[in-house]
Amino acid sequence: QVQLVQSGAEVKKPGASVKVSCKASGYTFTSYYVHWVRQAPGQGLEWMGVMTPSGSTIYAQKFQGRVTMTRDTSTSTVYMDLSSLRSEDTAVYYCARDWSYWGQGALVTVSS
């Protein structure tokens, strides 16, 4: 069965970077889009960007220059790296294959 398993919770200081992983299984890794979506406490969903099947990336304008999405096809893992963290980046970060399958989410807390 399709599964997306994300890395664990992180606590970071302002200005630092965080790298969240999303390990896929149960399907052909290079055949589907993998999105990154975040959700601040008590807020709605916010699209950050997507890794396409070919390995290219499309980022939301809001995160351009601060986000980098990469993948390792040998381990079927997609990574999302967010830099220059600020308190407003405190959120649960999700990966999602198309919109059909979602990871469990990774809480990133940015606090001094």
Partner 1 sequence: QAGLTQPPSVSRSLRQTATLTCTGNSNNVGNQGAAWLQQHQGQPPKLLSYRNNDRPSGISERLSASRSGNTASLTITGLQPEDEADYYCSAWDTSLSAWVFGGGTRLTVL
> What is the closest distance, in whole angstroms, from the C-beta atom of residue 60 to partner 1 in the complex?
5
- Rule CB under 8 A: say whether 99 interacts with partner 1: yes
Say how far apart CA 37 and CA 50 lie, in whole Å: 9
Q: For residues 13 and 41, which CB has a smaller minimum distance to partner 1 in the complex? A: 41
Tokens of 33: 């889009």
Q: How many CA atoms lie within 13 A of 51 on its CB side?
A: 26
Binding-site member from 12, 102, 107, 109 for partner 1 (CB under 8 A): 102
Residues in 48-87 that interact with partner 1 by CB under 8 A: 50, 58, 60-62
Sheet holding 77-82, edge to edge: 3-6, 18-25, 77-82, 67-72
Give, in degrees to the nearest 5, the angle at Cα 84 between 83 and 85. Answer: 90
As a residue count, the chain comes to: 112
Q: Does 28 bind partner 1 (CB under 8 A)?
A: no
Task: Quote the least distance from Cβ 17 to partner 1, whole Å.
Answer: 23
Both tokens assigned to 3: 């599964």
Binding test (CB under 8 A) with partner 1, winner from 46, 66, 70, 107: 46
Site for partner 1, rule CB under 8 A: 35, 37, 44-47, 50, 58, 60-62, 94, 96, 99-100, 102-105
